[in-house]
Chain A
Amino acid sequence: MDAVWAALQESSFAAFVRNSTFVYPIANITHVVAVIAFFGIVATMDLRLLRIFEGTPARVIIARMRPVALILLLIIAVAGFVLFSAEAVALARNTAFRIKLAAIALALLNIGVNERTLRIYGDDNRLVRFTAGVSLLVWLFIAAMGRTIAYV
Chain B
Amino acid sequence: MFAPGFAEAHHGWGSYDATKPITIIAAIEEVSLGNPHGMVMLTHEGRKWEVTLAPLSRMRVRGATAELVAAGKQLTAYGYPKRDGTSEMRAEWIEVDGKRIELR
Contact = CB atoms under 8 A, between A and B. Distances in A.
B56 A21 contact: yes
A2 to B, nearest CB: 12
A84 to B, nearest CB: 11
Interface string A60-98: 000000000000000000000000001111100000000
Interface string B5-46: 001101110110000000000000000111110000000000
B67 to A, nearest CB: 15
B57 A150 contact: no
Contacts, number: 46
Contact of A24 (B12, B15, B56, B60): B56
The contact size tier of chain B is 10 to 19
Given A86-B35, A86-B36, A87-B36, A21 B8 contact: no
Interface of A is mostly: helix
Contacts of B57: 21-22, 25
B56 A9 contact: no
14 contacts: A10-B1, A17-B35, A18-B35, A19-B56, A21-B57, A21-B60, A24-B35, A25-B55, A25-B57, A86-B34, A87-B7, A87-B10, A89-B7, A150-B10
A90 B10 contact: yes
Nearest to A82: B35
B95 to A, nearest CB: 22
Interface residues of A, number: 21
A31 to B, nearest CB: 12
Contacts of A9: 7
Given A21-B56, A24-B55, A25-B55, A151 B12 contact: yes
A101 B36 CA distance: 20
A19 B55 contact: no
